[in-house]
Amino acid sequence: MTQADVIIVGGGLMGTASAFFLRQRGLSVILLERDLVGSHASGTNFGNVRRQGRFLPQLPLANRSRAIWGDLPGIIGEDSEFLPSGHLRIAFREEDEARLVAHAAAAREWGLDLDLITGNALRDRFPYLSPSARMASHSPLDGHANPRLAAPAFARAARRAGAVLHEGAAVLGIVKSAEDFVVETAIGAFRAPLLQISAGAWGGRIAAAFGEPVPITPAAPQMGVTEPMPYRIAPVMGIATTVKEEGVYLRQVKRGNIVFGGGARSEASLDTRRARLDPLNTLAQLPHLARLLPPIRALSIIRTWSGVEGYMADDIPVMGPSGKVTGLFYAFGFCGHGFQLGPGVGATMAELIATGHAGIPIEPFHISRFAQGPPG
């Protein structure tokens, strides 16, 4: 098959979930992935399924996504190790505490309930936390999942539902004819009247080719994992801070290992498609990890890694229809927080493409926010 209702460029979580939900809505789909599905940001990320701390107008999308995460076995037949373990943001300073309080109040308006926990209650509920922690903002229904499994699981489900997925199919050029987009790839040409660009950090290049340049920068968040210790830390946790270097986070998986990340990012290259893990960043993470979770100091790190992620200048993604080309849709540049959103993005893009309505407000993410005004 070289022709379909919709062509999706990019087989990360955004592309694979969109393919699956488009099939649910009865559209035929061809997905084109240059490497392997889920092998870039979607397969290398930290695995945080976190809503708190987000840009608030993104919460409808995050809430929609959270509902799907909770029902993955029913929807795609496997759970990708999603664990609604709760999520903690921990403040160590008075000003960070104040920000947690303000965020909790505002998030409630958007349908996200957060518990603010301090003092003895904090130590009773989470005895392993640092004694110097002042306050935790607890989001009981957030959690974590296994990034290595999620996008491939959506890809399998999409295939079972009849989508055509090609790996090793780098998109080399796209032309819009009267009716169709003609997509040239390393394995031949494909055509469809509708096109979704979910090419992650590479999305900006394709948008620019359609005359819609955006300020996007690739970067490499720094990850690591420790040897296992007995499983006892359910919630994902991170330091709530405005100081970049301090902003580390961690989660314990059921096998006992503690996965961590955060702090300064390193460089990523769109051309080599490699993200650099700078071991000096790993060293810089250590004191902050130990501050967040003192028992971690007894462990050893066994592996570090990174992935290529696209960051927009305003730290929110590009999502929605093109501002210039009919039939063209974007979902890329998820700024380090797209894993949680992935299933929701898929459902929303499918609804938008199939019906013309997203079902939830996504206007803040429209690509035209970067458009230059008309000359003169």
Partner 1 sequence: MAVTGDGVIVVGAGPAGIRAAERLVAAGIRPTVVEESARDGGQIYRRQPEGFRRPPEALYGADSAKARALHEAAQALHPRVDWRPGTLVWAIRDGTLLVNRAGQHEALPFRHLILATGATDRIMPLPGWTLPGVTSLGGAQIALKAQGCVIGREPVFLGTGPLLYLVAWQYLKAGVAVRGVLDTSAFAKRVLAAPWLAARPGLLARGLAYTAALRRAGVRIATNITPLEVEGEDRVAALRWRDAAGVEHRAACDGIGMGYGLRPETQLADLAGCAFAFDGGARLWLPVTDGDGRSSVPCVYLAGDGAQIRGADAAELAGRLAACAALRDSGRAVDELEMATLRRRLAGMTRFRRGLERAFPYPAHLAADLPDETLVCRCEAITAGALRQAGGEYGAAEVNRAKAFSRTGMGRCQGRMCGPAAAEVLAAARGIPMAQAGRLRGAAPVKPLPLATEAAP
Ligand X SMILES: Cc1cc2nc3c(=O)[nH]c(=O)nc-3n(C[C@H](O)[C@H](O)[C@H](O)COP(=O)(O)OP(=O)(O)OC[C@H]3O[C@@H](n4cnc5c(N)ncnc54)[C@H](O)[C@@H]3O)c2cc1C
Contacts with partner 1 by CB under 8 A lie at: 36, 39, 43, 148-149, 152, 156, 225-227, 255, 277-280, 282-283, 286, 289-290, 296-305
Q: How far is the CB of 9 from partner 1 (least distance, A)?
A: 21
Dist CA 199 CA 13 (whole Å): 10
When CB distances are held under 5 to 8 angstroms depending on the partner's kind, the choice from partner 1, ligand X, none that residue 32 binds is: ligand X
Residue 47 engages ligand X in binding (rule: CB under 6 A): yes
What does each C-alpha distance from 327 to 124, 158, 218, 302, 368 come to in angstroms? 55, 22, 27, 47, 15
What is the 3-class SS of 147-201, one letter each residue? Answer: HHHHHHHHHHHHHHCCCEEECCCCEEEEEECCCCEEEEECCEEEEECEEEECCHH
Q: HSE, CB side, 13 Å, CA atoms: give it for residue 97.
A: 10
For position 210 contacting ligand X by CB under 6 A, the verdict is no
Q: Counting contacts by CB under 6 A, is residue 61 touching ligand X?
A: no
- The DSSP secondary-structure symbol of 176 reads E
Residue located via tokens 């640092």: 130
Least separation in angstroms between residue 323's CB and ligand X is 19
**Residue range at the interface with ligand X (CB under 6 A); choices 85-93, 112-120, 130-138, 194-202:** 194-202
Please work out, in degrees rounded to the nearest 5, the angle formed at the alpha carbon of residue 319 by the alpha carbons of 367 and 164: 125
From partner 1, ligand X, none, interface partner of 336 (C-beta below 5 to 8 A by class): ligand X
Give which of partner 1, ligand X, none residue 152 binds (C-beta under 5 to 8 Å, depending on kind): partner 1
**Binding of ligand X by 309 (CB under 6 A):** yes
The answer to whether 241 touches 228, Cβ cutoff 8 Å, is no
Instruction: Please give the helix or strand (H or E) that residue 22 lies within, else none.
Output: helix 13-24
Tokens of 221: 């968040």
Segment interacting with ligand X, rule: CB under 6 A, options 91-99, 117-125, 155-163, 302-310: 302-310
Contact call for residue 44 and ligand X (CB under 6 A): yes
Summarize as ranges the residues that interact with ligand X (CB under 6 A): 9-15, 32-35, 39-42, 44-48, 170-171, 198-202, 221, 223, 261, 306-307, 309, 332, 334, 336-340
